[in-house]
Chain A
Amino acid sequence: KNQVEQSPQSLIILEGKNCTLQCNYTVSPFSNLRWYKQDTGRGPVSLTIMTFSENTKSNGRYTATLDADTKQSSLHITASQLSDSASYICVVTHYGNNRLAFGKGNQVVVIP
């Protein structure tokens, strides 16, 4: 079973609307949790990094939250733009050995 599960697998939203992506993980103990944005045909780009003691982190219109007790994270996109169309990948780092567990991504399509 994958240690990082993301949902929904894909979604389509109208430009200007908000959306929330979910990441549930079983990695324990964990060091940090990252959200990456990957445009089609390009490498992932880091959006946010949160350690276990942080609850929220923002990067422009992107806001990530973390609940270490329930092992859940979310990425909220505010006032979506066409350029937000991408895959969003959740990555959790195992504390101690620094091994990474990857989600398979949330595919977001923003339509005008």
Chain B
Amino acid sequence: DAGVIQSPRHEVTEMGQEVTLRCKPISGHDYLFWYRQTMMRGLELLIYFNNNVPIDDSGMPEDRFSAKMPNASFSTLKIQPSEPRDSAVYFCASSLDWDSPQETQYFGPGTRLLVL
């Protein structure tokens, strides 16, 4: 398996523009997670899905952020409109059975977002 795939790897945009990040989880994994990482705040969980259904979106910072998972092999994280403070590395991760206490997550390479 190719692992978790994210695109684009880098994104530079101007404030106010819409940004869409994409993720393909590992085949067969039922859980998908979106994270944001910054130097100041470290790693933060934004939202996670189980079987394409959003389970916990309490980490989504505000209404400008939205995430969808239309099928088991694809998810998007959208920021509209983007702001400079959204600049961060966004990771997608997937897991086979997150409810199992010994289960691990597999992270993608991340998308480095810079909003000017």
Contacts and interface: CB of A to CB of B under 8 A. Distances in A.
A-B complex is real: yes
9 contacts: A31-B101, A43-B91, A45-B107, A46-B105, A49-B102, A49-B104, A93-B101, A99-B56, A100-B45
B14 interface: no
Interface in B32-59: 41-45, 56, 58
Interface string A60-100: 00000000000000000000000000000101010001111
Given A98-B56, A102-B43, A43 B101 contact: no
B63 interface: no
Interface of A: 31-32, 34, 42-46, 49, 51, 89, 91, 93, 97-100, 102-105
A43 B110 contact: yes
Contact of B99 (A42, A98, A105): A98
B65 interface: no
A44 B104 CA distance: 11
